[in-house]
Amino acid sequence: MSAKSIKKALLFNDFLSSLSGEPLEIKYKHLARIFRVSESTISKLRHAKLNKMPSGMHPDIIGADFASGVVQSFAPSGSTVRRFSAYARMICENCLVSEKLEKAAAYLAGIGSVGDGFAKKLYMTEIPQFIRLCYEEAYANSETDFSSHAASRCSVQSDIMFQKICDTINRDTFDDDKLKQLLNVIYAANIRHQINAMIDSRSVVDLVDRFVQNQAGEPFYNYIHRTEVISISEDVSQMVRTIKGRQQIVLQTLKPQEVVLRQSLNHYVDLSDEEIINSTFRKFTCTVNHIPLVQYLNLHENAHYTSTEQFLAVSQVHDNVSGTTNTEITFRFLLYPGVAGETMNIFYEYCFITPFIENISCNYSFSLFYPCKFLEHEFALDEKTKRRWGVKVKLFTPMTTSACTSESSDEPLVQSGGTSDLKRITFYDWAMPGTGYFRNIYELKYATGET
């Protein structure tokens, strides 16, 4: 077993215990004064009996003051330098730390006897910086190990998370750029509220590790952009949706990748498959890398397809919760990468025509299957429709993310155009798999109270 594998991360309870032991021997009542908390809280932290770090002890709030308070417990002398040099040596020998902290600790650990002049310089600069790094790292390690109370994203926690993942995964599988790209998907999420339901009692690091491993060979999107213009007939019998989409997907392996687009009718249709497709789809086009889909697939599959509609299929989907069965149309085809890591561009456009059934056929939902670096969907009503109808969008995510902005304070996850006839959602810093939304059409007179 290597020396590195014996070391463990610097957790907050171990950090407190180390400060109270040799060579520093700082009393808990003094630490409590520096933290501005009770000795009881310090005791609970020391024994890991708190399930959440006190918010007032976040490094951004007290990190510098804490480091200054610890160092000023000692006189600015050569003996103080020797104490902190021995403490830094202990950190180097016993803890698995980030490169930044390891460098600071190694510098202090290598210092021998010094005069009072140099001791005062270290007392004012390197020693407080070293203690602050210890504090930040111990805080970040402990906070990210609370499965139900993970902290908000901050640079310290990002650095520590990256270091911890680097120590647990097979680095032959990932280069640094790819690993950081995958970790950004996690960093984009504030998992304070929903992580416990997702991973039971597992730590955040376990979640990141599992997510990274699961995504090792899976595709991801550089971007997905989709616009939808909705038109409702004057007699409210029919809804026409003109949909345009473009997306760029990165295929990390040479394995053919299936692309699936689904459109649910939200109710059961008792017609033949051919009748359903012919009555709902119009002007359907699709290209892959600017090549018409039919031509692309004939080339790669040695086939003789003649129309895009041949890739449409009808299925009946049963909802176990509501006990209902809905008709769904699926558009699916395969992509054939020439090299691992190939980027492929997909463009599609079609008109989707359905009977208008209020609160049924006018609803639509979308869910993301792979990570997406930039996701934007836009919904608009045409001129005649927006006089009577409005559109609402409600986002759902597997984690609450700060990457999606809002113009509405009561819907912090949905970016809205500010009018009832235009809605837009935008993720500009990675959207997680499982991220999606519900889109609904509503009559304006009921929303405004008109009769």
Residue 396 has pLDDT above 90, yes or no: no
Mean pLDDT computed over 198-215: 53
Does 178 share its domain with 118?
A: no
AA letter at 270: D
Among candidate residues 177, 195, 216, the one where a domain is terminated = 216
**Assigned domain for 346 exists:** yes
pLDDT, tens digit, for every residue of 219-253?
889 999 999 999 999 998 899 999 999 999 999 88
**Assigned domain for 336 exists:** yes
**Assigned domain for 154 exists:** no
pLDDT, tens digit, for every residue of 272-315?
999 999 999 998 999 999 999 999 999 999 999 999 999 999 99
pLDDT, tens digit, for every residue of 139-188?
877 654 443 333 344 455 555 556 655 655 555 555 566 566 555 555 44
Q: Retrieve residue 245's tokens.
A: 């989409």
Does 272 share its domain with 199?
A: no
Among candidate residues 110, 144, 178, the one where a domain is terminated = 144
Does 336 share its domain with 418?
A: yes
Does 339 share its domain with 373?
A: yes
Question: How many Cβ atoms are within 10 Å of 92's Cβ, its own excluded?
Answer: 18
Mean pLDDT computed over 98-117: 85
pLDDT confidence bin for 425, thresholds 50/70/90: confident
pLDDT confidence bin for 426, thresholds 50/70/90: confident
Four-CA torsion 320, 317, 245, 387, nearest 10 degrees:
-70
Residue appearing with tokens 């056929």: 361
Does 290 share its domain with 355?
A: yes
Does 77 share its domain with 202?
A: no
- Cβ pair 387, 437 in contact under 8 A: no
**pLDDT value for 147:** 35
- Cβ pair 264, 319 in contact under 8 A: no
**Assigned domain for 93 exists:** yes
**pLDDT value for 302:** 94
Look at residues 74, 70, 76, 72 and name the one whose alpha carbon lies nearest to residue 114: 76
Does 276 share its domain with 303?
A: yes
**pLDDT value for 439:** 87
**Assigned domain for 114 exists:** yes
Question: How many Cβ atoms are within 10 Å of 51's Cβ, its own excluded?
Answer: 10
Does 187 share its domain with 250?
A: no
**Assigned domain for 85 exists:** yes
The number of domains in the chain is: 3
Mean pLDDT computed over 446-451: 55
Does 86 share its domain with 227?
A: no
The two beta strands, 238-251 and 422-427, are unpaired
- Cβ pair 432, 397 in contact under 8 A: yes
Which three-class secondary structure state does DSSP give residue 355?
strand
**Assigned domain for 160 exists:** no
* 5, containing H or E segment: helix 3-6
Does 99 share its domain with 169?
A: no
The two beta strands, 375-381 and 422-427, are antiparallel
Q: Tell me how many degrees the CA angle 299-305-311 measures, rounded to the nearest 5.
A: 110
**pLDDT value for 255:** 92
**Assigned domain for 171 exists:** yes
pLDDT, tens digit, for every residue of 10-56?
888 888 889 999 999 999 889 988 888 888 888 888 877 776 677 78
Report the chain's mean pLDDT, rounded to a whole number: 78
3 state SS for the chain: CCHHHHCEECCHHHHHHHHHCCCCCCCHHHHHHHHCCCHHHHHHHHCCCCCCCCHHHCHHHHHHHHHHHHHCCCCCCHHHHHHHHHHHHHHHHHEECCHHHHHHHHHHHCCCCCCHHHHHHHHHCHHHHHHHHHHHHHHHHHHHCCCCCCCCCCHHHHHHHHHHHHHHCCCCCCCHHHHHHHHHHHHCEECCCCHHHHHCCCCHHHHHHHHHHHCCCCCEEEEEEEEEEEEECCCCCEEEEEEEEEEEEEECCCCCEEEEEEEECCCCCCCCHHHHHHHHEEEEEEEECCEEHHHHHHHHHCCCCCCHHHHEEEEEEECCCCCCEEEEEEEEEEECCCCCCEEEEEEEEEEEEEECCCCCCCCEEEECCCCECCEEEEEEECCCHHHCEEEEEEEECCCEECCECCCCCCCCCCCEEEECCEEEEEECCCECCCCEEEEEEEEHHHHHCCC
Which three-class secondary structure state does DSSP give residue 281?
strand
3 state SS for 312-338: EEEEEEECCCCCCEEEEEEEEEEECCC
pTM: 0.58
Does 124 share its domain with 227?
A: no
**pLDDT value for 38:** 86
- Domain extent, residue 74, equals 3-144
Does 94 share its domain with 197?
A: no
pLDDT, tens digit, for every residue of 57-84?
888 788 889 999 999 999 999 999 999 9
